[in-house]
């Protein structure tokens, strides 16, 4: 899996994505849907797994806890895992860092 680290600043509307999973659903948190033309559009994709939300490990996070972290964040930072056939598990590189986009 390849990882991507996404960040944004001072959002005044929705980040534009929906989640699935969480420990209460017995599988990892992942992006379910991304809204077109949102701050997340073309940055994260359906199926991307969430490894960290604002520096918090998601491996023990419930769905509602994850939603709360995201909803309360004015500067959201995500580390997502994107499955690729040639990637090594937990391989994070500088080229995988990108900006979700500043939103005014």
83: how many CB neighbours lie within 10 A of its CB? Answer: 11
Q: What does the pLDDT read at residue 88?
A: 53
**Residue 19: closest CA among 62, 75, 60, 59:** 62
Model pTM score: 0.69
pLDDT tens, residue order, the chain (104 aa): 455 555 444 455 689 999 999 999 999 999 999 999 998 898 899 999 999 998 899 999 999 999 999 988 888 888 888 866 455 555 554 444 444 544 43
* pLDDT at 13 (0 to 100): 66
User: How do strand 17-22 and strand 27-34 relate by DSSP bridges?
Assistant: antiparallel
Beta strands in 8-55 (DSSP E): 17-22, 27-34, 49-53
Which candidate, 50, 52, 14, 59, places its Cα nearest to that of 31? 50
Residue-range domains of the chain with CATH: 2-90 (2.30.42.10)
């Amino acid at each position: 899996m390849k990882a991507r680290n996404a960040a944004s600043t001072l959002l005044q509307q929705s980040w534009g994505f929906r989640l699935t999973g969480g420990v209460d659903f017995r599988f990892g948190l992942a992006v379910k849907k991304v809204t077109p033309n949102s701050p997340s559009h073309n940055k994260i994709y359906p199926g991307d797994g969430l490894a960290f939300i604002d520096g918090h490990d998601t491996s023990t996070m419930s769905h509602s806890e994850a939603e709360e972290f995201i909803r309360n964040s004015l500067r959201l930072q995500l580390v997502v895992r994107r499955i690729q056939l040639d990637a090594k598990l937990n391989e994070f590189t500088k080229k995988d860092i990108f900006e979700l986009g500043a939103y005014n």
